[in-house]
């Protein structure tokens, strides 16, 4: 019933009804719509909101939305993503059906990529042949000295061969773009999967090694040697894992910023012929780079000299197959899926079209996004989101001005950083140029391969050139947002500006609670444990006085300890130091959104809805954005390597530190809260 009211309103808006027609709508219809925004059916009011607000707000939703077999987690984000994909599918299908699209145009590429991916018979018929040259080169490797060039080639086409090269803004001078090499080469999600003495990890290790063996069989390896080959690959990856820097240590920007001249590289990692490597990677002019993880590269160099070349051949074949299996015939796709089952707990493959669509988003996502926003991002949405955003910026400005513990010198730098923070909503001003990327009707796997190579070339071409500030790190259809640390910008793709994150038709409380707290989250990243080490121009610079920094660090330590206490899948603790930045951003974001809501015209006009006060509505809007079910395997994977805490902790853990929440639901403010801002 309530849904129908909303749908009629939406249809009227699309038909372009004059404003007068809306003013005539009976008041009762509007408040029914408001009540629908509460989503009473998502709640579980048998739960005490002060004990477990996440379940209080989302218990009904979680019961009504079990995880579909093809997913490892299912909630508001995934449901919206699925709807988004349904919509994008139509764009891709119509592009594919348009035989008149000009050769080389984005429309031709969008259509051909999709058509090549959906051409299952063509994929089966082509078999592994499109990758024959890649496998041949690996098979011909006879000497360790030839490894350097082969690693560069495989990395160029997107294979995670031992390590990776890329570009970054120089931490010391953010206007400069430098080369960076980083650890990599692991087929499992994190080093813990290789190293932890834990029965669940051990089971995954066993499944992984068996999977490598079966993949080698598919590639034509003799049965008699696949087990030993897989064991050799596993042992090599395990040694690389042991030398890898843990994810939580990578959050220290000083630890991953180690500028080196070529001479020093030759000393620290002599088995890599650096000059040849950089030439093969298309950047022969580079003479200085950031060796992000020195210990890893020293160990890798040792492995390149001491591990038999036959093991390296197996490893590289495996990594190549691993990277491309999803775009090969069904036997590879199924085998690839078996690993996903073990690692993420997924029960079924996604429908083919959803897999192709995801691949296409990765390959030519800005071309797809360009079409998407033409039809899917009304200017009114942008204006309303901007209004919320500006309210939140103002709230932080006021907060920084009033913070009692901060010295004037630090305060001035913080305000400067906020003033310099650039805001970007929806999509880029200029669109990515794909004219040098060839996409055709197949083989599918070669479309993916060329797109990877194109992207690598495009990225590395930035090194040594003036910084281009116009690029986005997410395609417009993405249901997510980010803070660019070196750019000092906040970015909200069109994809996330939809319900349940943002809905222009609901009372302000829900929008401030949901998209408002997300906007506040991204802004706060500029001032979290990590972002606060960078200045307003994106340079790694300590702009804090010692005393202010100590006070801030005490808050950071409080958050790290709080979140270390949370567990997933029964016994696995979160890595407090890994999730600190996201947790600080959640807390800061929610407080800023609440402050901005209180200062907004929407709050001045707010009423109780269904017995809930405006503040209660705000907190419900916040919690509703995060409702989801997660498979235990997926929960463990995220806890191992993802800087975001699980959604229930993002809600309950954050609210523990918010006095206004307890007050809104009739509780008393408990002592021992963590205070950051």
> Interface with Zn ion by CB under 5 A: which residues?
582, 585
Q: How many CA within 13 A on the CB side of residue 602?
A: 26
Distance CA(347)–CA(322), nearest Å, equals 19
Smallest separation, CB 224 to Zn ion (Å): 50
Nearer to Zn ion, 73 or 159 (CB): 73
Nearer to Zn ion, 345 or 484 (CB): 484
Write the CA distances from 134 to 151, 186, 532, 628, integer angstroms: 12, 20, 44, 41
User: What does the block give as tokens for 555?
Assistant: 């808050």
Smallest separation, CB 540 to Zn ion (Å): 19
Smallest separation, CB 624 to Zn ion (Å): 19
DSSP state letters, 557-605: HHHHHHHHT-EETTTEE--HHHHHHHHHHHHHHHHHHHHHHHTSHHHHT
Q: Can you tell me which residue has the tokens 């509007």?
A: 30
Bridge-based pairing of strands 567-568 and 489-493 is unpaired
Identify the three-state secondary structure at position 677: coil
Nearer to Zn ion, 55 or 521 (CB): 521
Nearer to Zn ion, 621 or 645 (CB): 645
Nearer to Zn ion, 244 or 488 (CB): 488
Nearer to Zn ion, 414 or 585 (CB): 585
| Ordered alpha helix ranges (H), 219-351 | 223-243, 262-268, 274-280, 294-306, 309-324, 330-344
Burial class (CB in 10 A: 0-12, 13-18, 19+), 600: buried
Nearer to Zn ion, 153 or 521 (CB): 521
Smallest separation, CB 378 to Zn ion (Å): 26
Q: Can you tell me which residue has the tokens 């309103």?
A: 9
User: What does the block give as tokens for 174?
Assistant: 């953010």
Bridge-based pairing of strands 422-426 and 489-493 is parallel
Nearer to Zn ion, 253 or 667 (CB): 253
Nearer to Zn ion, 269 or 481 (CB): 481
Smallest separation, CB 482 to Zn ion (Å): 7
Smallest separation, CB 585 to Zn ion (Å): 5
Nearer to Zn ion, 456 or 582 (CB): 582
Nearer to Zn ion, 65 or 533 (CB): 533
- Cα 412 off chain centre by: 32
Q: Can you tell me which residue has the tokens 């089971």?
A: 203
Q: Do residues 543 and 659 touch, judged by C-beta distance below 8 A? A: no
Bridge-based pairing of strands 422-426 and 288-291 is unpaired
Smallest separation, CB 630 to Zn ion (Å): 18
Nearer to Zn ion, 198 or 248 (CB): 248
Nearest to 563 by CA among 578, 552, 548: 578
Smallest separation, CB 521 to Zn ion (Å): 6
Identify the three-state secondary structure at position 492: strand
Nearer to Zn ion, 60 or 588 (CB): 588
Smallest separation, CB 139 to Zn ion (Å): 44
Q: Do residues 636 and 653 touch, judged by C-beta distance below 8 A? A: no
DSSP state letters, 338-398: HHHHHHH---SPPPHHHHHHHHHHHHHHHHHHHHHHHHH--HHHHHHHHHHHHHHHHHHHH
Smallest separation, CB 524 to Zn ion (Å): 8
Bridge-based pairing of strands 567-568 and 572-573 is antiparallel
Smallest separation, CB 518 to Zn ion (Å): 9
Distance CA(223)–CA(170), nearest Å, equals 49
Smallest separation, CB 48 to Zn ion (Å): 29
Nearest to 231 by CA among 213, 244, 219: 213
Q: Which strands make up the sheet holding 259-261, listed edge to edge? A: 163-170, 173-183, 288-291, 259-261
Nearer to Zn ion, 338 or 644 (CB): 644
Smallest separation, CB 492 to Zn ion (Å): 12
Q: Can you tell me which residue has the tokens 């009033």?
A: 402
Smallest separation, CB 394 to Zn ion (Å): 21
H or E element in which residue 180 lies = strand 173-183
What single DSSP character describes residue 129? G
């Amino acid at each position: 019933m309530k849904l129908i009211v909303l749908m009629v309103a939406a249809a009227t808006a699309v038909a372009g009804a004059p404003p007068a027609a809306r003013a005539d709508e009976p008041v009762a219809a509007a408040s029914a719509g408001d009540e629908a925004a509460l989503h009473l059916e998502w709640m579980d009011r048998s739960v005490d909101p002060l004990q477990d607000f996440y379940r209080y707000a989302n218990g009904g939703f979680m019961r009504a939305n079990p995880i579909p077999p093809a997913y490892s987690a299912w909630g508001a984000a995934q449901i919206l993503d699925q709807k988004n994909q349904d919509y994008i599918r139509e764009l891709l299908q119509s592009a594919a059906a348009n035989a008149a699209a000009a050769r080389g145009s984005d429309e031709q590429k969008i259509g051909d990529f999709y058509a090549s991916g959906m051409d299952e018979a063509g994929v089966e018929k082509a078999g592994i042949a499109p990758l024959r040259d890649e496998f041949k080169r690996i098979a011909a490797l006879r000497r360790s000295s030839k490894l350097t060039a082969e690693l560069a080639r495989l990395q160029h086409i997107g294979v995670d061969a031992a390590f990776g090269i890329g570009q970054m803004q120089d931490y010391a001078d953010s206007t400069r773009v430098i080369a960076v090499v980083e650890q990599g080469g692991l087929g499992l999600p994190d080093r813990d999967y290789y190293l932890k003495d834990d029965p669940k990890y051990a089971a995954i290790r066993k499944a992984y090694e068996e999977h490598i063996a079966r993949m080698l069989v598919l590639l034509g390896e003799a049965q008699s040697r696949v087990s030993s080959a897989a064991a050799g690959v596993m042992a090599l990856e395990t040694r690389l894992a042991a030398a890898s820097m843990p994810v939580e240590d990578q959050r220290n920007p000083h630890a991953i910023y180690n500028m080196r001249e070529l001479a020093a590289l030759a000393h620290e990692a002599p088995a890599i012929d650096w000059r040849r490597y950089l030439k093969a990677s298309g950047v022969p002019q580079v003479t200085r780079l950031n060796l992000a993880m020195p210990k890893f590269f020293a160990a890798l160099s040792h492995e390149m000299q001491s591990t038999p070349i036959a093991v390296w051949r197996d490893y590289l074949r495996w990594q190549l197959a691993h990277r491309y299996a999803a775009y090969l015939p069904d036997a590879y796709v199924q085998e690839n899926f078996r690993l996903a089952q073990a690692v993420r707990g997924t029960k079924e493959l996604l429908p083919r079209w959803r897999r192709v669509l995801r691949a296409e988003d990765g390959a030519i996502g800005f071309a797809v996004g360009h079409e998407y926003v033409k039809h899917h991002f009304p200017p009114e949405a942008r204006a309303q989101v901007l209004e919320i955003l500006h309210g939140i910026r103002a709230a932080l400005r006021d907060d920084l001005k009033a913070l009692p513990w901060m010295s004037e010198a630090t305060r001035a730098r913080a305000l400067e950083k906020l003033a310099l923070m650039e805001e970007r909503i929806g999509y880029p001003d200029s669109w990515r140029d794909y004219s040098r990327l060839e996409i055709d009707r197949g083989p599918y796997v070669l479309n993916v391969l060329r797109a990877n190579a194109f992207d690598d070339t495009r990225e590395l071409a930035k090194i040594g050139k003036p910084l281009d500030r116009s690029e986005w790190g997410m395609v417009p259809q993405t249901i997510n947002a980010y803070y660019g640390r070196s750019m000092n910008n906040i970015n909200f793709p069109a994809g996330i500006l939809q319900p349940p994150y943002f809905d222009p038709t609901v009372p302000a409380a829900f929008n401030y609670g949901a998209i408002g707290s997300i906007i506040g989250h991204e802004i706060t990243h500029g001032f979290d444990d990590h972002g606060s080490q960078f200045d307003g121009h994106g340079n790694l610079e300590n702009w804090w006085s010692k005393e202010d920094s100590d006070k801030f660090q005490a808050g950071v330590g409080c958050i790290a300890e709080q979140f270390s206490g949370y567990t997933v899948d029964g016994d696995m603790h979160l890595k407090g130091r890994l999730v600190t930045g996201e947790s600080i951003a959640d807390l800061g974001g929610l407080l800023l959104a609440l402050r901005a809501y209180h200062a907004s015209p929407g709050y001045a006009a707010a009423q109780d809805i269904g017995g809930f006060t405006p503040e209660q509505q705000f907190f419900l809007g916040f919690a509703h954005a995060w409702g989801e079910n997660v498979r235990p395997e997926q929960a463990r994977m995220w806890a191992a390597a993802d800087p975001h805490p699980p959604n229930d902790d993002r809600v309950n853990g954050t609210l523990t530190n918010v006095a206004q929440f307890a007050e809104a639901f009739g509780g008393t403010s408990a002592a021992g809260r963590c205070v950051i801002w």
